[in-house]
A and B are shown apart, each in its own frame.
Chain A
């Protein structure tokens, strides 16, 4: 009794399927595996369209700014690229404000690429710092500077300039600024980007400074200028944050 029912069902199913095939959809053209693999290959039409824009892109972005001697990379607690990134902020802020800027700080999260050995192009610097941010100076008390050092320590280190300390159990020990021990009641100037000052990269102490000065200096342009002024950029570490 059961067998005929099953057979009838199968016939219905087959008939229905074949009817559907003729009239509307075919069975899937690709397996799910083939679809996943498609994410490894370019669509030729879109790739061709993109390539048609590339010559002009290259002409504008392929300009060589400097030579990188050895790969520059972000590292924790201290990396050669982080040192350059934070130094450039502090030096420029000092020049713009005509005063002693004690500290430069920014998070690695603000950057997108490490820098390869060889010629460094304008396009790579724009990739390195992709967003339109500007230079900001913040006035902190010595006490806030010590908090900042600890917030940097909690992240296992970040790009810094003008400040030195040792990491111990996620805390900053022996904090030195401008070759001196930090005085809690003294005031210090800290250079960073508006993005960091407004909440990016997670240094909460920077969100309530004693004073804030915004400069009409694009951070990207700041880095372009910084690299352009060097024939050769060599990596260096000086133990500013050490374990």
Chain B
């Protein structure tokens, strides 16, 4: 992972190089910025208000309105922003008891989230509770390995989306955790969990070959790493080639920087996760100016603290 400083220095060199090799003002005209900024959260758990002062951890941190403020300011600077969440938006404060996930999804729509993954707690009020809240979301909810056919979720849950930014195509797909043993069967009903590795491979093939994607992001609610046999983001990254970035959740892991895992093609897949409760907002910038190599830089912001 290159540091932000290196990245800025490199991107500066790249643009100077372009000028010297005879790029005209014409080429630059109308061309959007060469930076794609990915902002992300996971496991926000209905933490709409900041943690109260008597919280056992993170007192005073978080808060969706403050997250919205920083996102809005970043959007003023960066024309190309993708805003993503890796699931478990629901459950964790009394807001969920009163409103289900409705308030969260409405406010996330106002903030222009582009997509979220399905977390296990999204099922906490059953499929009808999930569907009723999902109805308020103006962005897609992703889970490639959940078969939702014939359930109330069919209308809301999609396998993937493709975002085109300045001719650069970013494919985003979701993966959900095994439901059996994690979610009460009564709550997930007829939704079927399928092998994440198999479906990730299928998604990569489809996104690269048929959708012409240049960059692939997996929004995963599998969890960062386990000691047992359950599949996690690290294992997924090492077994599936073609994913550039895994934005993870479930295990509430605070990773200060993304972790690079070598995938079967010998390239690196980055795995990242931003703890929980909206205490942090993650940011990864992709510099796509070279056309061949993507330079990345990363940082995070702590909400409620500078």
Contact = CB atoms under 8 A, between A and B. Distances in A.
A24 B35 CA distance: 13
B66 A43 contact: yes
A134 B70 CA distance: 38
- State the majority secondary structure of interface residues on A: helix
Contact of B93 (A46, A47, A49, A127): A127
A215 interface: no
Interface string B72-110: 111011010000000000011111011100010011001
Nearest to A23: B29
A113 B56 contact: yes
Contact of B99 (A20, A53, A126): A53
A82 B74 CA distance: 43
A37 B73 CA distance: 10
Given A19-B28, A35-B301, A39-B70, A123 B106 contact: no
Nearest to B78: A28
A115 B53 CA distance: 10
Nearest to B80: A25
Contacts of A7: none
Contact of A53 (B20, B93, B103, B111): B103
A16 B15 CA distance: 10
Contact of A115 (B48, B54, B77): B54
A37 B76 contact: no
A217 B47 CA distance: 25
A30 B74 CA distance: 8
Contacts of A169: none
Given A38-B69, A42-B69, A132-B91, A60 B98 contact: yes
A39 B94 CA distance: 23
Contacts of A34: 73
Interface residues of A, number: 49
**Size range of the chain B interface in the assembly:** 35 or more
A127 B55 CA distance: 9
Interface in A1-58: 9, 12-13, 15-16, 19-20, 23-25, 28-30, 34-43, 45-47, 49-50, 53, 56-57
Given A38-B73, A57-B95, A111 B56 contact: yes
Contacts of A113: 52, 54-56
B16 interface: yes
Given A38-B73, A132-B124, A50 B65 contact: yes
Nearest to B16: A13
Contacts of A46: 64-65, 68-69, 107, 110-111
B303 interface: yes
A57 B111 CA distance: 22
Contact of A39 (B20, B31, B305): B305
Contacts of A74: 56
Contacts of B72: 38, 43
A50 B77 contact: no
Given A16-B19, A49-B110, A50-B107, A39 B32 contact: no
B33 interface: yes
A130 interface: yes
Contact of A30 (B20, B65, B76, B301): B76
A97 interface: no
A39 B303 contact: yes
Nearest to B50: A42
B19 A13 contact: yes
Interface of A: 9, 12-13, 15-16, 19-20, 23-25, 28-30, 34-43, 45-47, 49-50, 53, 56-57, 60-61, 71, 74, 108, 111-116, 122-123, 126-127, 130-132
7 contacts: A35-B74, A35-B301, A36-B301, A39-B306, A46-B111, A112-B56, A116-B54
Interface of B: 16, 19-20, 23, 25, 28-33, 45, 48-49, 52-57, 63-74, 76-77, 79, 91-95, 97-99, 103, 106-107, 110-111, 124, 281, 301-306
Across the A-B interface, the 4 shortest Cβ-Cβ residue pairs:
A42-B65, A43-B68, A46-B68, A47-B65
Given A39-B306, A43-B69, 8 more contacts: A24-B30, A30-B73, A30-B77, A38-B69, A39-B70, A39-B303, A42-B65, A53-B98
